[in-house]
Structures are given as C-alpha cells and as structure tokens.
Chains A and B, each alone.
Chain A
Amino acid sequence: MNGQSTRSEPHIEVRGLCVAYDSFVIMRDLNFTIGRGDVFIIMGASGCGKSTLLKVLVGLKRPSAGQVLYGPVSFWDASPKERDAVMRRAGILYQSGALWSSMTLAENVALPLEQYTKLGKAEIRELVAYKMALVGLAGFADYYPSEISGGMRKRAGLARALALDPEIVFFDEPSAGLDPVSAKLLDDLIIELSQSLGTTIVIVTHELASIFAIGTNAIYLDVQTHTMTATGNPTEMLKTCTDPTVIQFLTRGGTEQSGQSERSGHVHTGE
C-alpha cells in the first residue's frame, strides 16, 4: 500500500478483518496499522460500514474473521476481562454524544472515574471541573444532557471520553450535525489533544475539511467493492491515488480539486 505512515510503533493493527451482519458482508480483507500518536481517519461514502468498523475496533461488534491487535493483545481472541482492560485505556465519542440522560454532565464525566479509580469525592469533583473546562463547558456541570445544544453535548461526550486520560480516543462522525464554526473548534481540540497529550486519535468521518486539516493517516472504505481501496496520508492520497472513486470522494465529485489541494497544502506548510 502506498504512503504508509512513518510514525513510531503501531498502536492498533488490523489483519484480514472481515465484518458481516449474518450473511451480508459489509467489509472484507481490511489490513491497516494505526501508529501511536496518529490522527487516523476512517473515511468512505455513507453506508460503506465506517461506523460498523468502529464498533469492531471498540468491542461492540464481533468480526466474522481476522484480528484486531492492540499492541500484543489480540482483541477479539482475548477474554472479556482483557477486552475491558484494553478499553479502559480508550475513550469513545459517540455520534450523538450518548451521554447518560438521567445524569448531569458532571455525573456523566465522573462515572468512569468512580468506576476505575479510588479517588475521593473532592478529587473527582476537581478532575471533572478540569475536564469540563478543557472542552469549554466550565459552569455547565449541573445541566442535564437534554438541556444543552447538540454541539455542547458532543463536547461533554468528549470530556467523558477523556475522563480516564485515555491513550486512544475514537470519534464517530465528530462534526455531524455541527455548524462549520463548532466543527472547526472541535477539530482544533482534537489536534490539541493529539499534540499535547500524544493521544492516538481514530476518527470516522466524511467531512473533507476535517480529513485534510487533521488527518495524518487514513483508509478509504469503498462501498462497491466492500473493502479498503486506499490508505495513507489524505493529502498524499489525493496526489498519488489512481482509484477514481477515491479521487472523486476527496474532491467532492471533482468540483473542488484545485481549492481543496491548495487548502490542504496550507495546513501542511503550517505543520
């Protein structure tokens, strides 16, 4: 495969993965590596199985074949206890935030801490306040998820995902349903996380602006052939890939060729 990321050791390795609902195969023969500290994008047209692949990576759906390796641990061959241990070092931001609606935002962020740490009440309160401030929600601790806007819900979900200082954070369509400015702010937050904490980031998205702005590595899932047809840095992919569907996807059906490459070029000179 072309343009493989040259970052440090691999964080997640996917080998020969095949995902199916009953007899309906969604994805087959997936092989890719997510390096430590990568901002890894899983992209593809709607309905290509991006979110399903994410479910396999986080332990919500068992693959029909193949392996997901978290370091030395083969995720789906491990016992449920070992899987829990792996997931304890991961945070997930669900598409709709998936905050527990019967709890306040503070209680939502505190639950992982209460579960997995022996911290006292005061320390937890302090940590929760810090995480909420990190995502720009200071002062909203006692609000219920139904009382805040969709963008705030996503940020609160991120605060919860970050509660246990995860080594890897998964995002399911982070910018879906957000206005361009909020989406940009979330992107900035993601870059900040990856650079200041060294967190590995895995994002499922089809938002071109985000893909080029923050992605350091990516795979493209093709809806027709039910497998991955391209991998590598998205900007490189646009230059070197020969698959017409990938190019079409990355250029919005060919309408944004010049503008897009210019913009992504800017981002890269800035890095």
Chain B
Amino acid sequence: MSSVPPPSITLERPEPGRLHLIVGGNWALGTSPDAAEAHAALSAGCSVLVLSARNLCDWDSSLVIFLIGVVRRAREGKADVDQSGLPAGLNRLIALASAVPEREGAARPPAQSSFLERFGAAVLRLPQNGGAVLEFIGEVTLSVLRLLLGRANFRLQDFWLLLQQTGASALPIVSLISLLLGLILAFVGAVQLRVFGAQIYVASLVAIAMVRVMGAVMTGIAMSGRTGASYAAMLGTMQVNEEVDALVTLGIPPVDFLVLPRMLALVIMLPLLTIYADLMGILGGYIVGVAVLDLNPMEYLTATKEALSLTNVWIGLVHSVIFGVVIALSGCFHGMRCGRSASSVGNATTAAVVSGIIGIITTTAVITVMCEVIGV
C-alpha cells in the first residue's frame, strides 16, 4: 500500500462503433481524472459501450458518479451498454441510483423573482399582517378587560418571576447605558456651551434631556433587545414544543396565561427602570460637570433642580409606559406567531427586536410632536 496507483480511464476502439472504457487505479473524491476525453469519445458516437475494470483498487462515489454520467450519455445516444465487466457492488450502486426516476414536479423551480415581484408580494402581504396585528391587539385588550374583572387566568408565581427578570435583573445594563449616556450628553453640550462661558447649563441640558425623553428611550431600546427578545424566543419555543397547544386544549387562553403577565411586568417595571435611568444619567452629567468642567458640585445640583419640572418627569413616564406596551406586544406577537422550527424562533426574535425598536422610535416622534402641539 506504499504507492497508490492514480485513477485512470482508458479508452479503446477495437472496431468502429464499439467503445471499450476501462477504469482502474484508486478512485477517491477530489482526485478523479479528467473525464472530458471519455465524454468526447461518447459524443463521437458508438453503438456499443463496454465498461470494465482493470487493476481497480479502492473506489468511492466519484467513480459511481462518473460511470452514471457515462451510462446516461450512452443511453441518450441509443448505444447498448455492457456493464458485466464491472465489479458487482459498483453495478448494484449504479442500478440503485437509476432505479427510482426523478419524481415529476417534485423538483422546485429555482426561486428567481425580480425586485418588483418581491416588492409587490411584500405589499400584498401588508393588509394580512396588519390584520393579524390588530387581531392580536384585540385579544390582548379582551384579556386586560378580563384581568380588570378579576377573571384573568395566569399564575402569580410566573408573574413574580417575570417582574424580577424584567426589573431587577435589568439594572446592570440600564445603569451602564444611562450613566454613559449622561456622560456623552454632558461632553457634547460642554463643547458648545463653553464657547459662551455657560458651562453651568450642562446641568440643565443633561437633566431635561434625560428625564424628558432620553432616559425612557434608551431604557426602552435596552429592554427591547433584552426582554422583548426573550419573550419572543420563549413563546416561540413553546409553540415549537406544542406547549401553547397544550394550553389551548386545556381551555386556558394563551394570551391570558402567557402574554398578559409579560405585558404587566414590563408596564410596571419600565417606568421604574426609567426613573432609575434618569438618576444614573444625571449622575453621569454630574461626573463630567464636576470632574472635567470644574463646576461647583452644589451649583451643579441646584442648576439641575431648577431645570427639572414635574411635567418633564411625567412626559418621561408616559413614554416609558407606552414603550412597555409596545415592547411586550411586539415580543409576544412574534413569539405567538412563530412557526414550528428552530429557524422560525430565530426569525421571530429578530422581528420582535426590530419592530420593538421601530415602535419605540415612532412613538417617541409622535409624543414629541403632540407635546409640541399642546405646548408642554
């Protein structure tokens, strides 16, 4: 076994119209010899093709593929094929591969559609998807009504756990993001305000920006990536495992049992997290103001207090409550609509986060415009 003979194809024409094809050597995937000559010889035409093996050592699928190609080609050219010279195992594999003809219509046509086609299909799907969203919102509303009437159906145990997961466990990431956001706001503001010698207004800039909108938006985005995604993944996996079906057949509405506690947890926890984020953001601004801009600590705090009004706090809280609903709805909606495979859980999670963030940004814009119109 020291030297392995390379695979070989030998062509012989003992008489016109008769082609002998002899394979030999060691056939392994990746080392197959050039088959062009054999195919050229077949194209030249022959009435009888005799296949045989000479000094054939090991062989694998590469030889079988080659021979199947040759045999098909010869049959197309109406030539008789004599395979009796090949090893029996090889003949059996060739017979097996050609035993069941390709099923008519089973092969999918290659999915090729133009940009316009895909765009059109996406637009046509819009009303359907919109209908599904409305239906889901309706179900959740009914479920909230049942809750108010004291007839909703979920386990308090689950609810406490969800409160902890969406609230306390999210503190580290919210701390980090809002502290840094406060720092960034202070630095960016300082560059401009320093020109006028009005560094002290960094305090009011940070306080108003954080409390009125940025605290809520950044917390919302962090929670959409954290909690919205986890809702979608969890409910999606429950769909895959038929756990949701098991609830339905037990007569427990899955929206009550799964969606309602999740939405409640977010609607309760997001405002609390937002207040916490506001404080952390102000702390970030304070660090920059005192340590970098050399402002008097007491002066900074007084300026912050003067700048803040309760209206700003309320506006921030309104944002966060609405974000809680938006994040929970998008997470649960995509989770409940999830298909029955691992990849659909992934898609559901992606869709939940994307639509959650889009929802947050658009609601922020709408609320900002509304505040402008009513003048608060």
Contacts and interface: CB of A to CB of B under 8 A. Distances in A.
A59 B248 contact: yes
Given A102-B158, A115-B252, A94 B245 contact: yes
B168 interface: no
A87 B241 CA distance: 20
B238 interface: yes
Interface string B14-46: 000000000000000000000000000000000
B135 interface: no
Interface residues of A, number: 22
A115 B158 CA distance: 15
A92 B243 CA distance: 12
Contact of B250 (A95, A99, A111): A111
A83 to B, nearest CB: 8
Contact of B243 (A59, A84, A101, A115): A101
A96 interface: yes
Nearest to B245: A60
Given A102-B158, A115-B153, A60 B243 contact: no
A101 B153 CA distance: 18
Interface in B106-141: none
A115 B250 contact: yes
A58 B249 contact: yes
Interface in A44-63: 55, 58-60
Contacts of A160: 246
Interface string A79-116: 00000100110101011101111100000000110011
A96 B243 CA distance: 9
B200 to A, nearest CB: 52
Nearest to B153: A115
B248 A99 contact: no
Contacts of B237: 101
A112 B242 CA distance: 16
B238 A92 contact: no
A101 B238 contact: yes
B251 interface: yes
Interface string B246-261: 1111111000000000
With a 10 A CB-CB cut-off, give which of B153, B242, B252 has the most chain A CB atoms: B242
A96 B242 CA distance: 8
A112 B250 contact: yes
Contacts of A111: 155, 250, 252
A98 B242 contact: yes
A14 to B, nearest CB: 18
Contacts of A84: 251
Nearest to A100: B243
Contacts of A100: 238, 243, 246-247
Contact of B249 (A60, A95, A96, A115): A60
B246 A87 contact: no
Nearest to B251: A84
Contacts of A94: 242, 245-246
A160 B245 CA distance: 14
A106 to B, nearest CB: 13
A87 B251 contact: yes
B250 A98 contact: no
Nearest to A83: B251
Given A96-B241, A101-B238, A101-B241, A88 B251 contact: yes
A87 B248 CA distance: 10
A98 B340 CA distance: 13
Interface string B214-243: 000000000000000000000001100111
A196 B158 CA distance: 37
A55 B238 CA distance: 17
Contacts of B252: 111, 115
A59 B249 contact: yes
A255 to B, nearest CB: 18
Contacts of A116: 251
A98 B251 contact: no
11 contacts: A55-B245, A60-B248, A87-B251, A90-B249, A94-B246, A96-B242, A98-B242, A98-B243, A112-B250, A115-B251, A116-B251
Given A87-B249, A98-B242, A111-B250, 4 more contacts: A55-B245, A87-B251, A102-B158, A111-B252
Interface of A: 55, 58-60, 84, 87-88, 90, 92, 94-96, 98-102, 111-112, 115-116, 160
- Which 5 pairs across A and B sit closest by C-beta, in order of nearness? A84-B251, A98-B242, A98-B246, A94-B242, A58-B249
